[in-house]
Every structure is written in structure tokens, then in C-alpha cells.
Amino acid sequence: MSAGSLFADHALLPGGWARDVRLAWDAAGRLTAVQPGATPEPGMPRAEGPLLPGMPNLHSHAFQRGMAGLTEYRAEAQDSFWSWRSLMYRFALRLSPAQLEAIAFGLYVDMLEAGYTAVCEFHYVHHDTDGHPYADDAELARALLRAAQRAGIGLTLLPVLYQTSGFGGAAPAEGQRRFIRSTASMLRLLETLRPACEAQGARLGLAPHSLRAVPPEALRDALAGLAAQDATAPIHIHIAEQTKEVDDCLAWSGQRPVAWLLDHAPVDARWCLVHATHMDADEYRRAAATGAVAGLCPTTEANLGDGLFDLPRWTVDGGAWGVGSDSHACVDAAEELLMLEYGQRLSRRQRNVAATAAQPEVATALWLSAVGGGAQASGRALGGLAVGQQADMLVLDAAHPVLAGLEAPQMLSAHVFAAGRQRPLAQAYVAGRKTVDAGRHPLRAEAQRAFVQARRELLAGGA
Ligand SMILES: [Zn+2]
């Protein structure tokens, strides 16, 4: 990598829009200067449109991109998350390391073209198809690292601890055999993966899958083991996504999932509570106060019929949040924000719900909050266009018909709310390196071919 600089007529800084901004970064891709009201140096590269901070995608199961579009039919009289999950398991059971790498590579290239400059990979398919560990226990995790490296996207790798099929230590189901590991084996896996992650600048964390998949002692031991390796590592957990999960947790412990977690785990700013859809007023207040990030996945939550997160109730207590594309039925940072805001509008019968007195432009408010929460959940310096943060940036295509002639904040509004399925994004930079130009990733054709081939093979395996 090499140092670089860029001049933007309009740039979205953490405090809001600024004019005539000169940015510079060092050879490691860290911003060393962000100066509004500057004059461009002679020959300095100029952004063709408004400059935005790149969006960290805080929740991804890469392999599920291969089954996007395959579960949109009636399989039961009343389809649910749980019938979707049984189809997902059948898919997960057939996946080879090469297929995972191809699907993830195609997905990550797509993400970069869609406004995501980093991804948190919640990785739970660990073992060979028969449920035995690979000769290299990190085989599938390494496939993800290679895919991210090749695409040029930043990565937070979150190997998933998965031990039981339900609350109270229910034995894992046969369909979960590729996910299961002991706590000791998980801690060894983290040690194995650490050098490879460090070599490519990826952050390594841990994801206890959910309270239904990780018994209390395992949760406690895994967190202690993780803290001994890296006391600031990110910790992500699926929580309170479905009402059945809430009911099962109540039956098991007498407490709702988020309340149980807050009482039994050291939840703080390292944590990302993925979904957290079903919380009562007390849980909203207590969870927001921990400093944990709410990991919202609006299009997946809509696709799976999870329910609606109550954003104002979370932010009134200062709660941090970010967005993830999760199952990848949709891969587009702007569309997640649109779906999030529209869910709030529909449930409250109001408009511009995420806007604030300080930031009345709703798309700007949404974008800045999601970058901040996404950065925190990533455990990496991705917190926007500020000195010390990584130069992860997007340039809006100011000449695109949807945006042309608008003011910079309106261009972002049009990108989020009016672009339909077009993507008026011209460039993406990761750590100061241009990974997308004229809306295209240079490896797009190759990545798409590999993706289609892998999916064809998986489908030929029979459903
Ligand atoms: Zn998930």
C-alpha cells in the first residue's frame, strides 16, 4: 500500500457535511489529515462527487448468499424462520471449502460495489460434511480470509461457538454437525487463526451463536478464554430474533434473552447484539446503557418475518447501532437503511424517524450512525472520515441521473431513498486503495463466474 490524498468539494465527516475537504492517508491506509475549508494542492486527485465514509457490514453469513432467492416459496401452511432454517441447514451441509470461497468472493466483490467497505463474518460452518474437523481445523475460516483478501474488503472474523440445539443443553441435531465444537477447541481455533488474521489486517473476535446454542458455562469459559487472548476483541451474539426464542428462554430461565444475557455476561462496548428485535422497555434501556451495538439486519429481518426493532426507543438512551446484510437476500448498504427507516415509519405512522434536531437530514443521520456502530462492532478503526481512522471511503456518482444537480446531502438522500435498484456509487476505497471505480470492481466478472459455478454445483447436489 502507499500513502495518498484526495480533495472533496463535499465530504460527510463525523459531525456532518463539510466543504472543500482535503484528506490524506499514510502507507498503512490511516487518515493523517481531514481538513475542511482547504485549497487543493496542484495535481491532487479530486473526488467526482460527495465523499462518504465506507459502511462496515456488521453481520454476514457469506455462504447464505448462495441460497438467496431459493426460499421464497410456500413450504408449510405457515412458513416461518424455522422452516427457512431447515432449508439453510441442507445447503450448509453440502458446502465445500472451494465453494465457500467462491461464494464469499462473489459476495464481497458485490458488497464493495454496494457501499460496504468492511464485513464482520459470523462464521459457523467449521467442519467437513461428515461433521469431523478438517485436517487443518481452520480450513473454512481460511477460505473466508482468502476471499476477503482477494476482493480487498476489510474483515472481522468471528468464529462461532455452537454446542446445543436449544435452551437447557439440548443435544445438537444431526443437521448441525458441521457447526459443533467444544469451548477448548474454539479457543485453539482462535489461536490458530490469529497469525493469518494479523497478516492481512483482519480483526479476530468470537461469536457465541445464541443463548439456545451456547450453555451458560460454555459462554463463561469462552469469554474468559477470549479475554485472555485479546481483552478488547469483538463479541457478537444472535439474540431475541424470534418470539419463539423469547418464549423458550422464558420457559428455561424465567427471563427474556436480553435480560438473561445482561445478568449473566459482561456485556459492554465490545459486544454486538445481533437483531435484539424482541426487547421490553427495561431491556431496551439496560442494553443501550451497556454501550453494546445493536446489530440490525433490516432486510433479512423482514425476509424472515422476525419483527421490528424499535429504533427511537434504543437511541433515546444513546444506543449505538449498525447494519448487516446477514442472509444476503439483499446486499446494499443504502437499502438496509431504507428498510430500517421505513419499518419505523410504518409502525409509528411518522416520517423521518431517524432524523434528529442536530441532524435533520434523515439519510445523513442514518448513514453516520450506522458507520459509527458498524465500526465499533468491527473492532477496527473504521469510524468515518477523521484522523486516525482508516481511509474507507465512497464517492457518490454526482453525474447519475438520480443525483445530478442536487446538493450533497440531497444526493445521499436520493441514494438511500430514491435510487431504486440502481447504485449511484462511483468509487470505493478501502484503506486508501481504490477497490471500485466507475461502479465496478475490477474482478467482478471473475467473481461472478466463480459464484455462479459454485451455486450450480450446490444445486446439482439436490435439495
Ligand atoms: Zn445471523
Q: Which of 123, 275, 278, 415 is catalytic?
A: 275
The answer to whether residue 463 scores a pLDDT higher than 50 is: no
Would you say residue 73 has pLDDT above 90? no
Cell, residue 4 = 495518498
pLDDT of residue 78: 78
CA 44 / ligand 1 centre spacing (Å): 42
Provide the H-helix boundaries in 114-238: 139-151, 183-199, 216-229
Distance 214 CA to ligand 1 centre (A): 15
Among 110, 248, 310, 326, the active-site one is 326
Q: In the 8-state DSSP scheme, what is residue 66?
A: G
Instruction: Lowest mean pLDDT of 198-207, 253-262, 452-461, name the range.
Output: 452-461
> How many angstroms does the Cα of residue 379 sit away from the middle of ligand 1?
18
The pLDDT of residue 211 is above 90: yes
Alpha-carbon distance values, 283 to 239, 294, 313, 340, 437 (Å): 12, 12, 10, 20, 44
Q: Which residues surround ligand 1, an ion (CB under 5 A)?
A: 326
Whether residue 461 is predicted with pLDDT greater than 80 in this model: the reply is no
Give 81's pLDDT tier (boundaries 50, 70, 90): confident
Those residues whose C-beta lies under 8 Å from the C-beta of residue 154, and which sit 6 or more positions away, are 56, 117, 118, 119, 148, 201, 202, 378, 380, 382, 390, 392, 430, 431
CA–centroid distance, residue 178 to ligand 1 (Å): 16
Is 130 annotated as catalytic?
A: no
Q: Which CATH code for domain 55-378?
A: 3.20.20.140
Domain ranges of the chain: 4-52+387-440, 55-378
Contact 6, 21 (CB under 8 A): no
- Report how far residue 73's alpha carbon sits from residue 70's, in angstroms, rounded to the nearest whole number: 8
pLDDT in tens, 249-281: 999 999 999 999 999 999 999 999 999 999 999
Say what the pLDDT of residue 462 is: 53
Q: Could you tell me the three cell numbers for 282?
A: 427495561
In the reported structure, the alpha carbon of residue 10 is separated from the centroid of ligand 1 by a whole-number distance in angstroms of 35
Q: Summarize the confidence of residues 54-74 as an average pLDDT.
A: 93
Asked whether residue 235 carries a pLDDT value surpassing 90, the answer given is yes
pLDDT tens digits, one per residue of 319-356 = 999 999 999 999 999 999 999 999 999 999 999 999 99
241 alpha carbon – ligand 1 mean position (Å): 9
Whether 326 is a known active-site residue: answer yes
**Is the predicted pLDDT of residue 67 greater than 70, yes or no?**
yes
Cα separation, 146 vs 149, in Å, equals: 5
Q: Given a cut of 50, is residue 143 above it in pLDDT?
A: yes
pLDDT reading at 440 higher than 90:
yes
138, pLDDT greater than 50: yes
SS3 at position 456: helix
Measure 411 CA to ligand 1 centroid, in angstroms.
31
pLDDT digits (tens, 9 = 90+) for 396-406: 999 999 999 99
Looking at domain 4-52+387-440, its CATH class is mainly beta
